[in-house]
A and B are shown apart, each in its own frame.
Chain A
Amino acid sequence: MRTLFFLLDKEFRQLMRNRQLLMVLLIAPLIQLILLPLAANFTVKNINIAVVDHDRSTVSQQLIHKVTASGNFQLSGYAETYEQGLKLVEADKADLLLEIPLHFERDLVREGHNEVYVAINAIEGTKANLGGTYIVNILRDYNEAIRVKWMPAALANMPLVTVTSSNWFNPYMNYRLYIVPAILVTLITSIAAMQSAFNIVQEKESGTIEQINVSPIKKHIFILGKLIPFLVLGLLLFTLGLFVAWVFYDVYPVGKFYVLYISAFAYLFTMLGLGLLISTYSATHQQALSLSFFFINIFNILSGTFNSVDSMPDWAKLLVQFFPPTHFISITRMVILKGSGLFDIGYHLACIFGIGLVLNVWAILNYRKTA
């Protein structure tokens, strides 16, 4: 126990002495937490739309006005022909092309139906999906409106089931509420995994690990001595992060703080374990870096940080269950937005802890005192 105390003393001193590193560890994440949620804006508001209006009738004008007034679309220009409109899409000046055929109004009345053409740049799938949904909804609303106005009698005997919708926990569909907890988790992931990996590699590269190896320090005591300082640092960062989220984005946990902290503790334990494991397999900084980058990049993109796990194929859904950040991101969102309790997050917490146990035991077994 006394050995552990001395080791901790050493680690904390080393940590506090390296100012440049400490700045990178604490300040850089907080600045990112303040700035980056502004970038992560999925509430697609400015879909640029180009219009090809062959009809130029009252109806087509009204329709175009409806679309541009909805707030989701921005009229980037009119084109004479479909080909011209397509040019605008190619040049990224428009995301969506709306074409209203000639005699649209006349045929609508005469034949009872008519088509409008919508072409969407689908390279960005989400934007295309949402843009398509928005415009179809607007067209339907407009359709409903003219029908009621022009021939109210025809509607009277049509039995229709309609849908009203509402959203709980985030009634205004504020994307920030979704993204801020995830960015906080992402930052903690990088710090915890990389820092613990680099720390031991540092001792290896500078040769000081030899001194520890010849000393009678037990393996698990040495590992604990490495884990605890970063656990403290991680919890400090988590606390500062929650504070920043509250001050800058008004994201305040609906749920209990102790649930958040228990989960954060388990998560740090797991990610530090991953870092340790990486360090036992690496001899140099470069190796440790490429290994941690490999994992962190996959975690960032597949753990549901920005892309819902629900939209992945089944094999990927299963795969991400083995990624600790998937669970911790779920937990933070559940507790912060919905106020889920300890029982609700049980599955995720158990997964994090289980993975952490495996990683840490593996790291201790793999750490050899003899080179």
Chain B
Amino acid sequence: MKQLLVFIRKEFLHVFRDRKSLLMLFGLPITQIILFGFALSNEIRNSRIVVWDNAKDEVSARIIDKIEASAYFDIDENVNSAAEIDAAFKRGNVKLAVIFPDKLSEDLRHQGKATVQVIADGSDPNLATAVTAYITQIVNDYNIGTGSISQLPLQIIPEVTMLYNPELKGAPNFVPGVMALVLMLVCTMMTSAAIVREKEMGTMEVLLVSPFKPIYIILSKLTPYLLISVMNVFIILALSTTLLDLEIKGNIVLLIAESILFIMTSLSIGLWISINAETQQAAMMTSLLAMMLPTLLLTGFMFPVENMPLPLQWLANLVPSRWYFIIIKRVMLKGLGFASVWKETLILIAMTIFLFNLSLRKFKTRLE
């Protein structure tokens, strides 16, 4: 036991001596939580549009006024042909074109109906859907304004409530997501270098000939990163509640315990990579290149896992951050208890034990 403590102390010294890495270990989660928390929103504002006004009458002028007055759109320029719209889209900053037909008010008067044509730049499909919906909304507002709509009979009025996140802020979705992503990658990357470095430097020989149990070597390697990551969890939670106005609705002790479990899972992945890699460079490339994008995409905070094709859903099930993300969303944002996350917890425990055993066994064979 005393031996283990000595070794843990050695590893701590190693980690804390490297000021630059230490700064990054703490700085990285903090900056990213703040940056993403504030920068990512779901609200589209000031999208640039072009207008092709063939009507140039009272109706088109009033609709254009409404568009200009809304926070969603900035009118970039007036165009006079389809070619000009095409050119504007190709330059890339214009997202939408509104075309008013000639005789707009005449059609409206005589036929009771007139159509405004909207063309969106479909190269960004979500943005195109959203801006088209906004324009439709503005035109409907115009109809309401002229009194046409409010007099209509048989109105079904949808009353929409946004649960848990009424202002549609990005933070409630991204904080758990970024937490899962950053914790997992930082833990994996840092440990992935730990053992292979000793191999590369040749100091592993010294460790192996010493009367020190392999499991102690591994434990002492992991302890500093475990501690740093747990501190990071506290910092992230503190920042999200103070700066990002995110309320922790569930039990904080449960939240911390689940986070520690998840950190251990991530450390085990890093350990496994480290034991299998030949060089530090290969270990790090594997942990970053092979894991970064899959983690980002398969965790489920960017794209719902249910929407993916089945093979990818199976693959996503192997990504620990997917489970942690579910846990943290339920506990932190919805305020649910352990009863609703026990399954996910069990999966993380199983993953940790499996990976740790696998690494330990592989490590032992190298001893012989």
Contact = CB atoms under 8 A, between A and B. Distances in A.
B115 interface: yes
9 contacts: A114-B155, A158-B149, A159-B114, A163-B135, A166-B117, A177-B123, A194-B285, A285-B281, A340-B92
Find the residue from B20, B162, B185, B281 having the highest chain A CB count within 10 A: B281
Interface string A340-371: 11001100100000000000000000000000
A162 B160 CA distance: 23
Given A108-B156, A310-B47, A173 B128 contact: yes
Given A290-B28, A339-B90, A312 B172 contact: no
Nearest to A137: B133
Interface residues of B, number: 128
A170 B132 CA distance: 14
A248 interface: no
List the 9 closest pairs (A to B, CB-CB), nearest first. Answer: A167-B122, A170-B122, A125-B42, A290-B24, A122-B162, A316-B39, A113-B155, A122-B165, A337-B123
A289 B18 CA distance: 13
Interface in B23-55: 24-25, 27-28, 31-32, 35-36, 38-47
A171 B168 CA distance: 28
At the interface, is chain B mostly helix, strand, loop or mixed? helix
Interface stretch (A1-9, A28-36, A228-236, A269-277): A28-36
B193 A297 contact: no
A291 B25 CA distance: 10
Interface in B45-75: 45-47, 59, 63
Nearest to A282: B20
Interface in B71-127: 86, 89-92, 95, 104, 108-109, 112-127
A285 B284 contact: yes
Given A125-B169, A166-B119, A173 B18 contact: no
A338 B90 contact: yes
Contacts, number: 398
A115 interface: yes
Contacts of A337: 123
Given A45-B307, A286-B193, A287-B18, A123 B172 contact: yes
Contact of B20 (A92, A136, A287, A301): A287
Interface in A90-134: 90-92, 108-109, 112-130, 132-133
B158 A116 contact: yes
Nearest to A334: B92
Given A36-B294, A344-B92, A173 B47 contact: no
